[in-house]
Amino acid sequence: MYWDVKVVKPLSNYYIYVEIENGEKGVFDLKPYLERGVFRELKDVNYFNQVYILFGAVTWVHEQDIAPETLLANLIGLEAISEEMVSELGLKTAIAISLNL
């Protein structure tokens, strides 16, 4: 489907980098969810970093996942990422280059 995630990478400060089948790329901030129910477990950085894709959805080992509509509605597109955010998130050089930073 057009909203399926094809790439997910954990970043610092509880962000994830995602690429979606429809061509969108960006980062998603999980901090607003960390005090809610099953998402509290994501505060453990080692666990947070175990993010993966299951059936096109961003998922963790104990079955926490991000609904596709939530991901799409709150995705920070690459064009909106500032140089400061690149530094804060520890984005890899290849991503920074694709942002022309």
Largest Cα span, the chain: 38
Share of the chain above pLDDT 90, in %: 62
pLDDT in tens, 43-67: 999 999 999 999 999 999 998 999 8
Q: H helices then E strands: how many in the chain?
A: 4, 6
Is it true that domain 5-98 has CATH number 3.30.2020.10?
A: yes
- Domain range list for the chain: 5-98
